[in-house]
Amino acid sequence: MNFEDLRFGPELLKAVTELGFTELTEIQEKCIPEIRAGKDVVGQSSTGSGKTAAFGLPILEKITHGNGIQVLVLTPTRELCVQVTDALRSFGKFININVASVFGGVSIEPQISALRTTDIVVGTPGRILDHMERRTINLQNVRFLVIDEADKMFEMGFIEDVERIIRQTPQNRQTMLFSATMPAEVRHIVERHLRSPVTVKGIVYVDTSLLRQVYYDVKPHDKFSLLVHLLKQNEEGIALVFCATRREVDAVASNLKEQGINALPIHGGMEQNKRLKAVDALKSEKITVLVATDVAARGLDIRNVSHVYNYDVPKSSSDYIHRVGRTARAGGEGDAVTLLSERDHGSFTMVLRDRSLKISKAEKPGFERVPFKRFENRERGGYGSHNRRFGRRPRY
């Protein structure tokens, strides 16, 4: 099915045409008719499946400028907040609708001003609560509530904040919840706050026919050297490198740059402008490697990812799927590489509980051993003490 078949108004259709949208994704084809029919929807779909258009387009055709805040979209991270805002503004380019981003880490005053005239608010729970306490946001006219990336929202500890926000919206609103997985906390929200919801499922699992999954059994002191070798051997496309902690992200990214690899870090401890700069640099292909934590990367729609490297092994199969599902999209092939050392065996056992995952052992190539230097905490929000676990000298 294509977008013309849905018979959107000329303004919306013109916008999606300019964006290059033609065929609907699975989640869009299933969600849009249900949202148009006024039903609450639970959408189970992974990042990059097109769910912002799935809820954004049918909502945009139902609201009118000047009637207060009619739409509230909750997102777990600032990056996803900005991304959803940009998408909604693009969809509504030819209609008179205002969209405001509300997230922490930046001045609250411009947000207060924007909230006076906006029709749609996209925000993170913490900053939405700040505005509620200041009485600078009025949710009494909200007709549509969207909870995006719900499982990650609750994994980050936002469940009580989300509950408080929901209670401030009208009971007769239409609610949409999107989540890649359905843990107990998400099911609780669905049962408590959605009315006879329709469940819509898109593709949430790894397409093993297009994704090559391998692991290397490597000694801890060789892990970084092998990563450098693999990145230099596979320079086409974009690479995502996942680490377990903020400190590890900063240390790995800094050391990659020392090795001549164009990499940037992204994690929740960085200043907002630096996080957005990293995402923009990747999307514009000014860099080719992004080193990230799961939380910072969740929800980012990054195209042309050819390789995903698990520098640290995720703690569960669902986390593994979230990571590696960022490659081998839209019919393209991709590689998922896990660097497995002694401390990772427990986590790797948890990942392998999903019998659908076919991860084969790869023979280690010959590679040059390079130093892993310790970087001190040079700036606010930065971390550089990764090597405290390994001693004060450079690691080889």
Cβ proximity of 369 and 222 under 8 Å:
yes
Enumerate the β-bridge partners of residue 42.
177, 199
pLDDT tens-digit series, residues 313-360: 988 887 888 788 777 655 567 899 999 999 899 999 999 988 878 899
pLDDT tens-digit series, residues 284-307: 777 889 998 876 666 566 767 889
pLDDT of residue 378: 44
pLDDT of residue 50: 81
pLDDT tens-digit series, residues 107-162: 999 999 999 999 999 999 999 999 999 999 999 999 999 999 898 888 788 989 99
Q: Dihedral, CA atoms, 199, 204, 210, 212, nearest 10 degrees?
A: -160
Single-letter amino acid, residue 235: E
Single-letter amino acid, residue 233: Q
Distance CA 210, CA 353 (A): 21
Distance CA 268, CA 278 (A): 12
> Number of H helices and number of E strands within the chain?
15, 14
Cβ proximity of 291 and 265 under 8 Å:
yes
Distance CA 80, CA 268 (A): 12
Q: What is the mean pLDDT of residues 230-245?
A: 89
With a CB cutoff of 8 Å and minimum separation 6, the contacts of 94 are 11, 12, 14, 15
DSSP at 348: H
pLDDT tens-digit series, residues 154-202: 878 898 999 999 999 999 999 999 987 788 888 999 999 999 999 998 7
pLDDT tens-digit series, residues 37-57: 999 999 987 666 788 999 999
- How remote is the C-alpha of 74 from its chain's centroid? 13
Going across the sheet that includes 120-123, the strands are 99-102, 120-123, 71-74, 144-147, 174-179, 41-44, 198-201
pTM recorded for the entire structure: 0.68
Q: What is the mean pLDDT of residues 258-283?
A: 82
- Between the alpha carbon of residue 328 and those of residues 211, 230, 271, 296, the distances in Å are 6, 18, 31, 21
- How remote is the C-alpha of 92 from its chain's centroid? 22
Set out the domains of the chain in order of their start, with CATH numbers: 3-201 (3.40.50.300), 211-389 (3.40.50.300)
* Mean of the per-residue pLDDT values of the chain: 86
With a CB cutoff of 8 Å and minimum separation 6, the contacts of 35 are 41, 54, 55, 58, 59, 174, 176
Distance CA 347, CA 238 (A): 26
Between 110 and 388, whose confidence is greater?
A: 110
